[in-house]
Structure 1
Amino acid sequence: MFFIRLATIMSVRYLNKHKNMRGNDMKEITILLDGLTCANCGNKIEKSINNRSDVELAKLDFLTNRLTIKFNEENQETDIEQIKAQILAIEDVNIIVEDQPKRITKKRYSIDQIRLISGIVGLVVSLLSDGLIFKGIALLIYIFIGYPVFKKAFVKLRRKDMFDENFLMSIATIGAIAINEIPEALGVMVFYTIGEYFQDKAVNRSKNAISKLLDVSVNQAVVVIEGKHIIKKPHQVLPGEVVFVAKGAKVPCDGVIIKGESLFDNKSITGESMPIQKKVEEDVVAGAVNLGNPVFIFVKKPYEDSSLARLVRYMQQASMKKAKAESFMSKFAAVYTPTVVAIAFIVFIVSSFYLFDAREGLYRGLIFLVISCPCAMVISVPLGYFAAMGYGGTQGILFKGGEALESAIDIETVLFDKTGTLTKGNIVCVHKAAIDDHDIFRSDEIVNILEKHSGHPIARALVLATESNSDMQITNIVETAGIGISGEAEGKRVEIVSLNEVTLSESLLSVSRQYPMAVVLKIDSKPAAIYFLDDEIKPDSAETIQRLKQWGIKTIMVSGDREASAQRIAQQLGIDEVFSQLLPHEKLAVGERLKTEKRKFAFVGDGVNDAAIITLSDCGMAMGGLGSDLTIEAADIVLLKDRPMDVVKAIEIAKKTRKIMITNLAFIFAVKIIILILGSLGFASMWAAVFADVGVALLAVLNAVRILHHEAR
């Protein structure tokens, strides 16, 4: 399984427990805000810490509740207790260091449950009887169940934050009591508390579901030193050491098998569903699970430079990068609540004068206060992006944050590099032909037997493309670098040479220009057969191009190959436009032309020379398995399976996410506006306002994580 708990797999930096910490010892800290489920409160915490003079930048990752604070260089002393107090003044959370237990959270939930039960009982009692005693009981229960809300409201009032939901809910329900609507005040507080309770549980459950998708931690490594098995942490293992990986264990570092053979499950790293058989001299990556026999692995690089550690870093960065929609909603929320509160006051004044009934005017105004909280809007957007990134991870698609997701939505053109992206980067024989009256089957036998004596990539391609069932013997075999291989078969001299070593008819030369490479079999110095070689097209490349065209997306291929060869592959795949014989700076020029034309384009590549155009593109996608480190670093999206079809999947996930976000926001705004209009006209109650607040927020959370169950077509 593959998504977001990667952000917390990396060790949380230890907070100094002393009150003061010197700037020389602390430039950046990361703390956990356990129990934070309110996205709007999270935004306030982030903004508040950023306003400190000693802080250069504070960023909150709402998914993992990690607050990273980077201090100014000139900072000499920072009071951590002040920062804690500042956070607690905004939201009642547990500030937890690495080794601190989480017992407080469990205790708080049990108290919440008692409050909920007593609130429901009190509500039933208050509705069944209108007596003074029952009203008194309902009032006491109201105070008991509303205590956490009042406490937070008082803290916010001291900070002059009158637009907090707790303060607004307190004023609204106290106002209801003032006009002798005690059952309704209790009911609003009960349903608000119930809604908040289940909303918190839904948010936490959604976070956990997303986080479990990326639980790929490697806890230990078994290092073999002088025949002894020594247990170390993965980051303590050095290149050149040998590690032992038992059945069921995870590979701790990238390396190569030196003893043993086994099946490895890579789905947590690449999303690949089927296990892969690995044997001696084959590479394995950190995080892969050994499903079979024990193996010994020679470590090639330290854990910090492994594929797994690199993914951890990307995911840490990804969950911290806010999309434009998230930033917009945070800014909108800051305006929305004061605006609705102002309208509430206007409704109260107008209704009181128009109806000559201050009680009714106050009631209508209180409805606006209840519905003024922006939590539903603020929480649904980031949670939707986190869910999409988590789902992408399970498919082997790594989105580097919400901004990367957004970049894939409105793509108009996709530029593909050819080699390693649309093709496998492997030489294969794609076409062959007999020359004059020679038998192609006999030629295949000679080529097959002769090339089995060579280890050249061209030789491997020719052996795979030919068959030999005869007992023919070829002797005096000689391989000459840059020319070919030769020998003697049945008294005749046989040679396989490059095209430059023979004279061919114009028709064969014309065909050969469509391919980047060709070799010729000669028998007694006469050409007998020609074999055309090219890069092997990936199985899903053609379908990828077809799917993109269905969306109206233009496809372009850029290649360093000669024109005829590039055109042939482009025609096979159905690509709209092709640029061939390009140098790296000429590829960049193609992207710059698209920029000039105001066309939003994505670039998909894998080579070091693709990094510049990936950076230039609106959406850069890198092949994660074959791609260079520089290209992967520059990309917005990493395709871990190296499959072209994942370009389609990435765009599809992005489009699906936007659809869910639009649905969410439209639903939230529609419900709130309807209740506001009905409330101002006297047709809605505070009960409906509570639903428009916490009820809608709960539904928005559930809808936001629906992408986790999405199946790409």
Structure 2
Amino acid sequence: MEAKAVKRKLVLEGLDCAVCAAKIETHVAKISCVNECSVDVMTKTLTMETAEGDDQTAVLEAKQLINKLEPGIRIKEATQNTAAKQVLLLKGLDCANCAAKVEKHVSDMEGVTAATVDFVSKKLFIEVQDAASMNRIVNEAAASIPVLEPDIEVVLDQTSAAVEEDPDDGGIKKMIFRLGASVIFGLTALLGDFPSFVELPIYVISYLLAGGDILLRAGKNIFRGQLFDENFLMSLATLGAFAIGEYPEGIAVMLFFQVGELFQSIAVNRSRKSISDLMDIRPEFATLKIGNKTERVAPEAVNAGAMILVKPGEKIPLDGVVVEGHSMVDTSALTGESVPREVAAGNDVLSGFVNTNGMLTIRVTKEYGESTVAKILDLVQNASSRKAATEKFITRFARYYTPAVIGIATLLAVVPPLVISGAAFSDWFYRALIFLVISCPCALVVSIPLGFFGGIGGASKSGILIKGSNFLEALNHVKYVVFDKTGTLTKGVFNVTNIVPKGELTAEQLLEYAALAESYSNHPIAQSISAAYGKEVNKEVIGKYEEIAGHGIKIEVDGKAILAGNKKLMTKEAISFVEEAAIGTMVHLAIDRQYAGYIVISDEVKEDASKAIAGLKALGIKKTVMLTGDAKKVGEAVGQKLGLTEVHAELLPHEKVEQVEQLDSRKQKDEKLVFVGDGINDTPVLARADIGIAMGGLGSDAAIEAADVVIMTDEPSKIVTAVKIAKRTRKIVWQNIIFALVAKGIVLILGAFGLATMWQAIISDVGVTLLAVLNAMRALKVAHLS
């Protein structure tokens, strides 16, 4: 008997090097009792698979090996089921570089397996392996982050509240007053005829009014060893200008920088607010019905089973079932569909719908935390915590870019005066200062996550939930799209179209036996047979009941053994029958091991399925494949009608996974495979694909959990829209990258040759950042892509 496989995990605290992770993975994989090994550098986790009984030996050898390879790494065994997550709000976070510093600082804390700062929503996501250490880590982060960045206030994220609004008017007025006073003092010194001992103090006062806070932050950062940020760069550049007697220029640079920071902060916050408004589906209140009285309460205070009233024009605050009333509801905030939906007693309604005309009484089925609107808000607002490869690259790029520019600036200031005859140190020092001014990578670090966040927000408004920037970016590389059939390309609404008895039974008797066999199943085929039978099924006559996965059902009724299922069941049970041609799903029946006939059940293809397949092919998708457990003839008929590349029919659930793995092995390294299913029965395949898309998953817990992308309607064409949104978002992101790098590169070159002034450098830096942020906001506008 083959030994059972066991997985063991080790947390590698202090692991922050991808090369080291790869080295550890390679060496641990060579341990004799280790079957598989992988190291995730993001979560600092090593996962090993061994045979049962060998796991303790593997852990011991792995620890010894890691201690030898990387002595600085602290190794802890991961405690099962004790991992925890916490979200902190970083109020006052307006600097992308500061966000990167906070992220690295928290990631390096003992016990933290992963930490991510989402600059757009101002949230810090902390993951720890041991839940018992969470309070300590949160307290440590709350105490140390304000020391690292004094302008940041750390608070617990008790709700999924939207991002902060614009800066307060008092702060803006204070900044404007300071800058205005700086301009007055600067112009007084510049235009007045003062002796140098009077002129210099006036310039200093003007300078301190403009940038005193920048100098203070730079000084504090130096003591903490945090040199390479925009505060240090601006302080060094402007103090350098003062050192060579360019007082007006030093003040002007600090003024432009502060004005630019102010406008940039306003632009970023406006863009954040636009994204927040885009997903403004949060209900403000619920009208709770208690007997004959009503009470307005917070949605969070309503329990499942309670009755609520929703008046015309109000948002439905919680998921539930209509028990009284008739109305039209606007679902556009959730599904992107503008056509209202009619609801009446017995219909399910979801939080976020808007009641347009009639009064509705609704029985709540889910508490607010589990409601559709809460899940959607959480997914959209926290999606940026899963960073795209482009974002990660820019963060790493910024980390090395600024120190490199400072190094070049130092060489530029020192080397030419030493090697070029007649070169003045002050001229080359001035050129070096321009290098420092232009080196701030804010345009990249701010606009790129903003672009991805805008793309995710815009997709949500179109009825497409994308669970992370990484999945949005991955959609650009999709070359294989694999579909489930039922409920994905077809409506999943089955109707009995033919009953063919064989032998002594009548059609009515055959249908009755089929209804008895399917009476315990919730499968759409079973429901269609029950609907065709049209009577109450007497389950008391059913004796033994056995469901055979992928085949059908075996029951006993009044001493008779009844088999109902597909042809595989007949073959498995050695029932002799003649297969006949029929377009549809065939349910075969046998009674006491004698073939009794079959029932034909048909499903309709969705109206826009053909449009979806044609749209995918137009986008350059190599293969569109359908996997189904249905009969081969049915699958091929649907595939031919839609123009699919391949159809694989009569598959069991595990065979669908095998087909996906075969397709996956054929694709190139940079190509992605998508599987589209209903998110309930296809969970294993959704998890196996590069990108899992749940179709029609609105309100389905299984869909939201299993899939990477959730299409909130039943329209396959939304997959085309999702890919188009991804491509447009990538285009905007790369426009910003290229624009920022080219603009900065030009000014750097001009500055090095003495053709650009410091004024031009700061204006170009601020201008590039503002233009990049405004361009990133275009990612929100995706309506025309549908």
CA contact (8 A) 1:188 1:686 kept: yes
% identical aligned pairs: 39
CA contact (8 A) 2:279 2:377 kept: no
Q: Does 1:108 align with 2:177?
A: no
- Aligned counterparts of 2:135 and 2:730: Cα–Cα separation in 1: 45
Q: Does 1:35 align with 2:96?
A: no
CA contact (8 A) 1:512 1:518 kept: no
**1:421-460 map, 5 Å:** 421-427=488-494, 457=528
Matching residue's letter, 2:673: F
Partner of 1:612, secondary structure, is helix
* Matched positions, count: 619
- Aligned counterparts of 1:102 and 1:356: Cα–Cα separation in 2: 51
Aligned residue in 2 for 1:242:
307
Matching residue's letter, 1:184: E
Q: Does 1:659 align with 2:701?
A: no
**1:463-474 map, 5 Å:** none
Pairwise CA distance, 1:215: 1.9
- Aligned counterparts of 2:106 and 2:535: Cα–Cα separation in 1: 74
Q: Which of residues 521, 529, 536 in structure 1 aligns to 2:604?
A: 536
Partner of 2:682, secondary structure, is helix
Distance 1:601 1:82, change over 3 A: closer
Pairwise CA distance, 1:109: 1.8
Aligned residue in 2 for 1:552:
620
CA contact (8 A) 2:455 2:726 kept: yes
Q: Does 1:618 align with 2:696?
A: no
Aligned residue in 2 for 1:565:
634
Distance 1:114 1:309, change over 3 A: same
Pairwise CA distance, 1:517: 5.7
Q: Does 1:166 align with 2:227?
A: no
- Aligned counterparts of 2:438 and 2:193: Cα–Cα separation in 1: 28
Q: Does 1:298 align with 2:363?
A: yes
- Aligned counterparts of 1:578 and 1:413: Cα–Cα separation in 2: 13
- Aligned counterparts of 1:58 and 1:518: Cα–Cα separation in 2: 53
Aligned residue in 2 for 1:285:
350
Aligned residue in 2 for 1:444:
none
Partner of 2:488, secondary structure, is helix
Unaligned runs of 5+ in 2: 1-82, 499-525, 539-566, 568-577, 589-598
Q: Does 1:200 align with 2:265?
A: yes
Aligned residue in 1 for 2:434:
367
CA contact (8 A) 2:496 2:528 kept: no
Q: Which of residues 408, 413, 416 in structure 1 aligns to 2:483?
A: 416
- Aligned counterparts of 1:635 and 1:683: Cα–Cα separation in 2: 54
Distance 1:170 1:77, change over 3 A: same
Aligned residue in 1 for 2:425:
358
Q: Does 1:583 align with 2:652?
A: yes
Q: Does 1:51 align with 2:124?
A: no
Pairwise CA distance, 1:252: 2.8
- Aligned counterparts of 2:187 and 2:96: Cα–Cα separation in 1: 32
Q: Does 1:349 align with 2:414?
A: yes
- Aligned counterparts of 1:615 and 1:81: Cα–Cα separation in 2: 36
Pairwise CA distance, 1:356: 2.7
Aligned residue in 2 for 1:605:
677
Partner of 1:535, secondary structure, is strand
- Aligned counterparts of 1:557 and 1:145: Cα–Cα separation in 2: 65
CA contact (8 A) 2:237 2:434 kept: yes
Distance 1:430 1:163, change over 3 A: farther
**1:315-394 map, 5 Å:** 315-353=380-418, 354=420, 355-394=422-461
Moved more, 153-162 or 92-101: 92-101
- Aligned counterparts of 1:125 and 1:532: Cα–Cα separation in 2: 93
Matching residue's letter, 1:619: I
Partner of 2:337, secondary structure, is coil
Distance 1:103 1:641, change over 3 A: closer
Q: Which of residues 214, 221, 237 in structure 2 aligns to 1:149?
A: 214
Matching residue's letter, 1:35: G
Partner of 2:351, secondary structure, is coil
CA contact (8 A) 1:222 1:245 kept: yes
Pairwise CA distance, 1:662: 1.1
Aligned residue in 2 for 1:468:
none
Distance 1:198 1:516, change over 3 A: same
Aligned residue in 2 for 1:441:
none
Partner of 1:281, secondary structure, is coil
Deviation string 1:365-422 (CA, Å, 9 cap, x unpaired) is: 1111112212211112111110001100110111101111112111011001111111
Pairwise CA distance, 1:137: 3.9
Distance 1:29 1:105, change over 3 A: farther
Partner of 1:408, secondary structure, is helix
Unaligned runs of 5+ in 1: 1-25, 432-454, 463-476, 482-499, 501-508, 520-530
Aligned residue in 1 for 2:19:
none
**1:493-532 map, 5 Å:** 512-516=581-585
Pairwise CA distance, 1:456: 8.1
Distance 1:646 1:78, change over 3 A: closer
Q: Which of residues 618, 632, 641 in structure 1 aligns to 2:704?
A: 632
CA contact (8 A) 1:605 1:627 kept: no
Aligned residue in 2 for 1:314:
379
Aligned residue in 2 for 1:693:
765
Aligned residue in 1 for 2:785:
712
The TM-score, its normalising length taken from structure 2, stands at 0.72
Q: Which of residues 744, 764, 774 in structure 2 aligns to 1:672?
A: 744
Distance 1:372 1:478, change over 3 A: closer
CA contact (8 A) 2:696 2:715 kept: no
- Aligned counterparts of 1:566 and 1:707: Cα–Cα separation in 2: 39
- Aligned counterparts of 2:710 and 2:267: Cα–Cα separation in 1: 30
- Aligned counterparts of 2:107 and 2:660: Cα–Cα separation in 1: 38
Partner of 1:366, secondary structure, is helix
- Aligned counterparts of 1:35 and 1:347: Cα–Cα separation in 2: 36
Matching residue's letter, 2:648: F
Aligned residue in 1 for 2:142:
83
Moved more, 242-251 or 47-56: 47-56
Moved more, 686-695 or 155-164: 686-695
The TM-score, its normalising length taken from structure 1, stands at 0.79
CA contact (8 A) 1:341 1:369 kept: yes
Pairwise CA distance, 1:63: 2.0
CA contact (8 A) 2:635 2:649 kept: yes
Q: Does 1:593 align with 2:633?
A: no
CA contact (8 A) 1:606 1:627 kept: no
Distance 1:81 1:191, change over 3 A: same
Deviation string 1:34-58 (CA, Å, 9 cap, x unpaired) is: 2322111111112123333365543
Deviation string 1:542-590 (CA, Å, 9 cap, x unpaired) is: 1111111112202111111111111111111111111111111111111
CA contact (8 A) 2:102 2:148 kept: no
- Aligned counterparts of 2:634 and 2:471: Cα–Cα separation in 1: 34
Aligned residue in 2 for 1:257:
322
- Aligned counterparts of 1:590 and 1:78: Cα–Cα separation in 2: 45
- Aligned counterparts of 2:451 and 2:425: Cα–Cα separation in 1: 43
Distance 1:69 1:611, change over 3 A: closer
Partner of 2:602, secondary structure, is strand
Moved more, 388-397 or 54-63: 54-63
Aligned residue in 2 for 1:528:
none
Distance 1:277 1:218, change over 3 A: same
Deviation string 1:484-540 (CA, Å, 9 cap, x unpaired) is: xxxxxxxxxxxxxxxx9xxxxxxxx99952333699xxxxxxxxxxx9862121111
Deviation string 1:245-302 (CA, Å, 9 cap, x unpaired) is: 2222322322211111111122222222222110111111122222112111122333
- Aligned counterparts of 2:450 and 2:165: Cα–Cα separation in 1: 23
- Aligned counterparts of 2:486 and 2:474: Cα–Cα separation in 1: 24
- Aligned counterparts of 1:587 and 1:208: Cα–Cα separation in 2: 43
- Aligned counterparts of 1:559 and 1:680: Cα–Cα separation in 2: 65
Deviation string 1:2-41 (CA, Å, 9 cap, x unpaired) is: xxxxxxxxxxxxxxxxxxxxxxxx9865432223221111
Moved more, 54-63 or 668-677: 54-63
CA contact (8 A) 1:559 1:580 kept: yes
**1:202-241 map, 5 Å:** 202-241=267-306
CA contact (8 A) 1:40 1:375 kept: yes
- Aligned counterparts of 1:211 and 1:34: Cα–Cα separation in 2: 16
